[in-house]
Amino acid sequence: MSTLYEMVVQTCSVRGVLLYEMRHVVDPVRGNLAVAEFGESLPFLPRRFFITSGIPSGQVRGEHAHRLCAQFFVCTHGECHVLVDDGEHREEFCLNRPSLGVLVPPMTWAVEHLHSSDSTLMVLASRRYEPEDYIRDYEEFMAMIGNSSHPV
């Protein structure tokens, strides 16, 4: 017998970041299904996606913010942690099932780390790749948002 779970969206202490438990079906016979509808469940229509996998133990991805691009992170296999930071607050999420996603708005620092050896992270992005959109230096990010102290 399958069980349907409706979507639940939770706010967190980091400005604009949302944790999504997407609508999903758990079916021990046929397998599980997670679904989100662009323009309805998610707040943007993706212009780009990318997938990271095979991340060696202890390696870190991300470590940047975007000026204009929003991103939606889903670990489709295995698990990884996503740390988000708005210059005042930090929060960390363990993405460990394909029905769990994190929305990271523009001007939010994000770090992906603690990847399991089998992790596959899919990222949906609201904009095409634009090198000038990236803020890769944390001190520059803090200066841009007008904060010179690190969040707790």
pLDDT in tens, the chain (152 residues): 899 999 999 999 999 999 999 999 999 999 999 998 888 888 899 999 999 999 998 999 999 999 999 999 999 999 999 999 999 999 999 999 999 999 999 999 999 999 999 999 999 999 999 999 999 999 999 999 987 666 65
Q: Which residues pair with 4 in a beta bridge?
A: 25
Distance, in Å, from the CA atom of 116 to the CA atom of 96, rounded to the nearest integer, reads 10
**Phi and psi, residue 85, nearest 5°:** -150, 125
Q: Helix, strand or coil for residue 82?
A: strand
Which of 6, 1, 52 is closest to 28 using CA atoms?
A: 1
| 64 included as an active-site residue | yes
- CA 95 – CA 51 distance, rounded (Å): 14
Which of 24, 64, 66, 89 is an active site residue? 64
pLDDT for res 152: 55
pTM > 0.85 = yes
- Which residue ranges form the domains of the chain, and what is each CATH number? 44-144 (2.60.120.10)
